[in-house]
Structure 1
Amino acid sequence: MGTTELEQRLAGRLAELRTERGWSLDDLAQRADVSRSTLSRLERGEISPTASLLNKLCAAYGRTLSRLLAEVEPEPPQLVPADRQPVWEDHASGFVRRSVSPPHPGLRGEVIEGTLRPGADIAYDVPPVAGLEHHLWMLGGALSLTVGDTEHRLTNGDCLRYRLWGRSRFQCPGPEAARYVLLIVLP
Structure 2
Amino acid sequence: MRDTLDSRLAARVAELRVARGWSLDDLAGRTGVSRSTLSRLERAEISPTASLLGRLCAAYGWTMSRLLAEVEAGAEPPALVRAADQRVWRDEASGFTRRSVSPPHAGLRGELIEGVLEPGADIAYDAPPVAGMEQHVWVLDGRLEFTDDGTPHTLDAGDCLRLRLLGSTRLRNPGTGPVRYAIFVALP
Q: TM-score, normalised by structure 1?
A: 0.97
Q: How many aligned residue pairs are there?
A: 186
Is 1:184 the equivalent of 2:185? Answer: yes
- The one-character-per-residue Cα deviations of 1:109-148 (angstroms, maximum 9, x if unpaired) are 0000000001011111111110010001110000010001
Tell me, in whole angstroms, the C-alpha distance in 2 between the residues paired with 1:3 and 1:161. Answer: 40
1:3 shift after superposition: 8.3
The equivalent of 1:41 in structure 2 is 40
SS in 1 for 2:100: strand
Aligned to 2:19: 20
Aligned residue number for residue 148 of structure 1: 149
Q: Deviations over 1:1-29 (max 9, x none)?
A: x9871111110000000010011111111
- Equivalent in the alignment of 1:111: 112
For 1:54, the equivalent position in structure 2 comes to 53
Q: CA RMSD in A?
A: 1.3
Alpha-carbon distance in structure 1 between the residues aligned to 2:186 and 2:19? 26
CA distance in 2 between partners of 1:44 and 1:12 (Å): 8
Distance (whole Å) between structure 2 residues aligned to residue 149 and residue 157 of structure 1: 23
Q: Percent identity?
A: 66
**In the alignment, structure 1 residue 30 sits paired with structure 2 residue 43:** no
Unmatched tracts of structure 1, length 5 or more:
none
The AA in structure 2 aligned to 1:50 is T
Question: Bigger CA drift: 94-103 or 65-74?
Answer: 65-74
Aligned equivalents of 1:11 and 1:116: distance in 2?
Answer: 24
> Which 5+ residue runs of structure 2 have no aligned equivalent?
none
